[in-house]
């Protein structure tokens, strides 16, 4: 291997991107790919995957081809590269013919470092011919989990990417994803013929994200309380399951003084991309969206990601929450979850068209998700364990900060199971709970359920408590919700030992939904970045300058500089270009473009 390679890689990192050192495995990956090796890179969202192919593309002869599934985001990716002085372009269907011809010429003559293409474009004869006639530095396959047929982002076009290996056997390929489970990893290696590629698996921990999962009461109201008390004017994402709920939630937030925009696949394309672009370009906007939103969104200063509905799997949940705090600053992942979520998700699996094997996979994924929601121990330990990583209590999740109280729930669960049995397993949650609590509803009288031995045996608990117990019984697999029209509750085989007293059940104590309080101890990263009053003023001033500059250049604000960089400038108060050069995120090109203006702002304010 070329001995000067790692020195040249580091030099590019510092002078072009303005970062002092590689993070985690970045350095090894860059060297491996730059020397011509294939790689499969698993790194969490925000881990820094882009540099892993951008720097090798600069180090190698020819143009680096980046396969990316989302044409809507290519413009921002190219803008960001051009800002640091890297020659980049994209080829996609939004361009005119003349523009396409121009880019193709640049690719052929090697006057460009990186070109972004969507997989369906890459597979066209025209594009393959172009790359045949050009010198290719590498192929980077971003969001590589899209090849996984059982995954949450399946894209059939991705499967055809295996031909790259056959057609360009001497060009190194690097596949990258933030989805880490074994099955997806194996599928990527198999389908992209990356069996011999070196695998780089990073830690999936995102220590700056604080995870919390609360019991759902009035979900929307809880969401509003959470945002107003913890994230006043921050940018964030709120995920909902249905299009209708997206619209309603966005309206609700707007009525309550929070600037929210909807995003879902049912909206027309122009409206959808306009909202996406506002979210990326403006500050403090809350995007309320279905999971159609978010892949490839590189906005680094998303401060919170909320879920108003239960996600289907931990992979999906982790990827969605990972969109918060990419800049390394503190961020929140917040979810409200309740009995109805469990019922709904189970029913969706039962009613889906999938075959039995697939349903079993879906069901196992849901069980793991429920286990995370109901856990009595650290959320992060559970999350990382799911990705095969061992860790200790994190101190930055709800269960670490306010440990939940557990209790021996055997007796109440027995009461619940007996009641389900006594009403012949033909009634839904509401009715079963009414019987338990001894409420004399019309329906109870009609069915003479007030004469059952179980009538009123649970009168000591409130309805919400019984819902929490039932939810956990479902999560534990003791009760299922039938997919008949009534959603009636049924006992499983696992219920028998509990009813007989042969198995005890540990439950999480129901906690009344409380108003979210701002965490009293900011996490470590935050404390380090805490600004004094005068520094805060500089930071605000720099943000205004950034907004104006971004508008003038017609790019997203974060592409000029991230919040983390502006904060560092506000703390360091550089009085010369030389001092500014040392700040993380300030490379040579940006120093030339903006250095004088920034130093002038600092001088003016001190
Ligand atoms: P990913 O694609 O893995 O989600 P990105 O490549 O978008 O992550 O990087 C996430 C953030 O981390 C970006 O803001 C990027 O500029 C920053 N970053 C990446 N590598 C480094 C590094 N070595 N030092 C400092 N910041 C970095
Ligand atoms: Zn924890």
Q: Is 50 in the pocket of ligand 1 (CB under 6 A)?
A: yes
Give me the pLDDT at residue 582, please. Answer: 87
pLDDT, residue 521, reads 42
Q: Read off the tokens for 527.
A: 């404390």
| Beta carbon of 590 within 6 Å of any ligand 1 atom | no
pLDDT category at 257 given cuts 50, 70, 90 is very high
Please report which ligand is nearest the Cα atom of 81.
Answer: 1
Compute the distance from residue 59 Cα to the ligand 1 centre, in Å: 19
Question: Could you state, in order of their start, the residue ranges of all structural domains in the chain?
Answer: 3-201, 209-401, 406-508, 533-605
Whether 51 is in the pocket of ligand 1, judged by its Cβ within 6 Å, is yes
Q: Which of 50, 76, 584, 590 to mutate to test the pocket of ligand 1 (most atoms within 8 A of CB)?
A: 50
Question: Tens digit of pLDDT for each residue in 557-580?
Answer: 889 999 889 999 999 999 999 999
Q: Mind giving me the DSSP string for 12-41?
A: HIIIII--SS--TTHHHHHHHHHTT--EEE
Beta bridge partners, 337, equal: 215
In the block, residue with structure tokens 């003016």: 604
Specify the ligand 1 atom closest to the Cα of 298: 7
Give the nearest ligand 1 atom to 26 CA: 23
Q: For all residues of the chain together, what is the average pLDDT?
A: 91
Pull the structure tokens for residue 52: 């892993």
Say how far apart CA 221 and CA 515 lie, in whole Å. 10
Ligand 1 atom index nearest CA of 322:
4
**How many angstroms is it from 294 CA to the middle of ligand 1?**
17
378 CA to middle of ligand 2, Å?
Answer: 4
45 pocket-lining for ligand 1 (C-beta < 6 Å): yes
Judge if the beta carbon of residue 134 lies within 6 A of ligand 1.
no
Q: Is 581 in the pocket of ligand 1 (CB under 6 A)?
A: no
Over residues 294-315, the mean pLDDT reads 91
pLDDT interval class at 359 (50, 70, 90): confident
Atom of ligand 1 nearest to the CA of 46: 4
Which ligand lies nearest to the CA atom of residue 9 in the structure? 1
Report CA(395)–ligand 2 centroid distance (Å): 5
Query: What is the Cα–Cα distance from 572 to 570, expressed in whole angstroms?
Result: 6
Question: What confidence tier does 529 reach under pLDDT thresholds 50, 70, 90?
Answer: low
How large is the average pLDDT for residues 387-400?
Answer: 93
Q: How far is the CA of 382 from the centre of ligand 2 (A)?
A: 9
**What digits encode the pLDDT tens for the residues 415-455?**
999 999 999 999 999 999 999 999 999 999 999 999 999 99
Instruction: Verify whether ligand 1 is closer than 6 Å to residue 296 (CB atom).
Output: no
Q: Which atom of ligand 1 is nearest the CA belonging to 50?
A: 6
Tell me the residue length of the chain. Answer: 606
Which H or E run includes 213?
strand 209-215
| pLDDT average, residue stretch 147-163 | 84
Q: Is the CB of 236 under 6 A from ligand 1?
A: no
Q: Is 327 in the pocket of ligand 1 (CB under 6 A)?
A: yes
From the CB of 53, is ligand 1 less than 6 Å away? no
Whether 406-508 shares its CATH topology with 533-605 is answered no
Yes or no: say if 577 and 567 are a contact pair by the CB < 8 Å rule.
no
From ligand 1's centre to the CA of 298, what distance in Å? Answer: 9
pLDDT tens digits for range 468-490: 999 999 888 899 888 777 788 99
294 lines ligand 1 (CB under 6 A): no
CATH of domain 406-508: 1.10.10.10
135 CB under 6 A from ligand 1? no
Task: Give the whole-angstrom CA distance, residue 596 versus residue 602.
Answer: 10
Task: Label residue 524 by pLDDT band (50, 70, 90).
Answer: very low
Residues of the chain with pLDDT > 70, as a percent, come to 96
Taking the C-alpha atoms of residue 68 and residue 45, their distance in angstroms, rounded to an integer, is: 15
Shortest-distance atom of ligand 1 to CA 51 = 6
* Residue 517 pLDDT greater than 60, yes or no: no
The continuous run of DSSP H or E covering 437 comes out as helix 429-437
pLDDT of residue 513: 56
Q: What is the average pLDDT across 379-399? A: 94
Burial category of 465 from C-beta neighbours within 10 Å (exposed 0-12, middle 13-18, buried 19 and up): middle
**Least trusted range by pLDDT, from 44-48, 81-85, 393-397, 447-451:** 44-48
Residue with tokens 């060297």: 31
Q: CA gyration radius for the chain?
A: 27
| % of the chain beyond a pLDDT of 90 | 71
Q: How far is the CA of 164 from the centre of ligand 1 (A)?
A: 27
Q: What is the mean pLDDT of residues 164-176?
A: 95
CB-based burial label for 333 (10 Å; 0-12, 13-18, 19+): buried
231's tokens: 């994230």
Q: According to the CATH classification, is domain 3-201 in 3.40.50.300?
A: yes
Neighbours of ion ligand 2 (CB under 5 A): 378, 380, 394, 397, 400
Mean pLDDT lowest for which of 113-117, 183-187, 319-323, 601-605? Answer: 183-187
Which strands, in side-by-side order, build the sheet including 114-117?
88-91, 114-117, 63-67, 136-141, 173-177, 39-42, 198-201
Check residue 40 and give left, alpha or beta (phi > 0: left; psi -120 to 50: alpha).
Answer: beta
Contact partners, residue 294, CB within 8 Å, separation at least 6: 237, 319, 320, 323
Q: Is the pLDDT of residue 520 over 60?
A: no
pLDDT attached to residue 522: 41
CA atoms of 49 and 206, how far apart (whole Å):
14
**Rounded CA separation 320/294 (Å):** 7
The pLDDT, as a whole number, for residue 322 is 92
Report the top-level CATH class of 533-605.
Answer: mainly alpha
- Give the atom of ligand 1 at the shortest distance from the alpha carbon of 142: 2
pLDDT digits (tens, 9 = 90+) for 82-133: 999 999 999 998 899 999 999 999 999 999 999 999 999 999 999 999 999 9
Q: Is the predicted pLDDT of residue 518 greater than 50, yes or no?
A: no
Q: CATH number of the domain at 209-401, please?
A: 3.40.50.300
Ligand nearest to the CA of 392: 2
What is the structure's pLDDT at 357? 87
**From the alpha carbon of 564, which atom of ligand 1 is closest?**
14
Q: What are the structure tokens assigned to 533, written together?
A: 């009053």
Locate 523 and state its tokens.
Answer: 């996490």
Is-contact 12 36, C-beta < 8 A?
Answer: no
Q: Tell me if 47 CB under 6 Å of ligand 1.
A: yes
Give kind and range of the element (H or E) at residue 42: strand 39-42
* Alpha carbon nearest to ligand 1 atom 23, residue: 22
Residue having the nearest C-alpha atom to atom 15 of ligand 1? 48
Q: Which residue among 39, 41, 48 has the greatest number of ligand 1 atoms within 8 angstroms of its CB, and so is best to mutate?
A: 48
Query: If you take atom 9 of ligand 1, which residue's CA is the nearest one?
Result: 48
CA of 584 to the centre of ligand 1 (A): 11
For the segment 492-508, the average pLDDT, to the nearest whole number, is 93
How confident is the model at residue 527, as a pLDDT? 43
């Amino acid at each position: 291997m070329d001995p000067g390679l790692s020195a040249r890689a580091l030099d590019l990192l510092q002078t072009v991107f303005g970062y002092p050192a590689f993070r985690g495995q970045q350095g090894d990956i860059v060297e491996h790919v730059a020397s011509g090796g294939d790689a499969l890179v698993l790194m969490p969202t925000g881990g820094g995957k882009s540099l892993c192919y951008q720097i090798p593309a600069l180090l190698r002869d020819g143009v680096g081809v980046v396969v990316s599934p989302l044409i809507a985001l290519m413009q921002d990716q190219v803008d960001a590269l051009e800002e640091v002085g890297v020659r980049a372009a994209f080829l996609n269907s939004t361009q005119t013919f003349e523009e396409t011809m121009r880019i193709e010429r640049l690719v052929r003559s090697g006057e460009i470092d990186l070109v972004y293409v969507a997989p369906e474009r890459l597979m066209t004869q025209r594009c393959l011919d172009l790359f045949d006639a050009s010198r290719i530095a590498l192929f980077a396959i971003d969001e590589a989990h899209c090849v996984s047929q059982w995954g949450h982002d399946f894209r059939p076009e991705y499967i055809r990417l295996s031909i790259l290996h056959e057609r360009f056997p001497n060009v190194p390929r690097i596949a990258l994803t933030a989805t880490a489970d074994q099955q997806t990893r194996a599928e990527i290696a198999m389908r992209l013929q990356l069996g011999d590629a070196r695998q780089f698996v990073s830690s999936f921990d995102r220590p700056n994200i604080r995870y919390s999962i609360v019991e759902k009461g009035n979900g929307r109201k809880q969401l509003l309380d959470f945002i107003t008390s913890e994230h006043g004017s921050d940018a964030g994402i709120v995920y909902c399951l249905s299009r209708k709920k997206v619209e309603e939630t966005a309206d609700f937030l707007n009525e309550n003084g929070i600037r929210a925009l909807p995003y879902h696949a049912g909206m027309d394309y122009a409206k959808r991309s306009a909202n996406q672009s506002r979210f990326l370009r403006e500050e403090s906007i809350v995007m309320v969206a279905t999971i159609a939103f978010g892949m490839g969104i590189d906005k680094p200063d998303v401060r919170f990601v909320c879920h108003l509905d239960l996600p289907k799997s931990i992979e999906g949940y982790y990827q969605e929450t990972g969109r918060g705090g990419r800049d390394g600053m503190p961020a929140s992942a917040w979810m409200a979850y309740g009995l109805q979520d469990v019922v709904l998700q189970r029913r969706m699996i039962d009613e889906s068209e999938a075959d039995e094997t697939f349903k079993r996979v879906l069901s196992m994924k849901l069980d793991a998700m429920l286990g995370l929601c109901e856990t009595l121990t650290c959320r992060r330990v559970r999350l990382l364990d799911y990705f095969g990583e061992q860790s200790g209590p994190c101190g930055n999740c709800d269960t670490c900060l306010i440990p939940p109280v557990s209790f021996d729930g055997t007796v109440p669960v027995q009461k619940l199971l007996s009641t389900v049995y006594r009403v012949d397993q033909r009634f839904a949650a509401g009715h079963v709970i009414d019987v338990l609590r001894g409420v004399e509803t019309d329906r109870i009288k009609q069915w003479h359920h007030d004469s059952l031995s179980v009538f009123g045996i649970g009168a000591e608990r409130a309805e919400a408590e019984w819902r929490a117990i039932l939810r956990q019984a479902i999560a534990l697999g003791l009760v299922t919700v039938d997919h008949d029209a009534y959603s009636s509750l049924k006992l499983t085989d696992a219920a028998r030992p509990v009813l007989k007293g042969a198995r005890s059940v540990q439950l999480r104590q129901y906690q009344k939904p409380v108003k979210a309080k701002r965490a009293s101890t900011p996490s470590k990263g935050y404390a380090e970045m805490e600004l004094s009053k005068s520094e805060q003023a500089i930071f605000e001033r720099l943000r205004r300058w950034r907004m104006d500059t971004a508008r003038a250049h017609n790019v997203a604000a974060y592409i000029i500089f991230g919040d983390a960089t502006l904060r560092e400038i506000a703390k360091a108060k550089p009085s010369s270009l030389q001092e500014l050069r040392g700040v993380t995120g300030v490379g040579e090109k940006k120093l030339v473009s903006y250095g004088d203006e920034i130093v002038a702002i600092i001088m003016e304010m001190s």
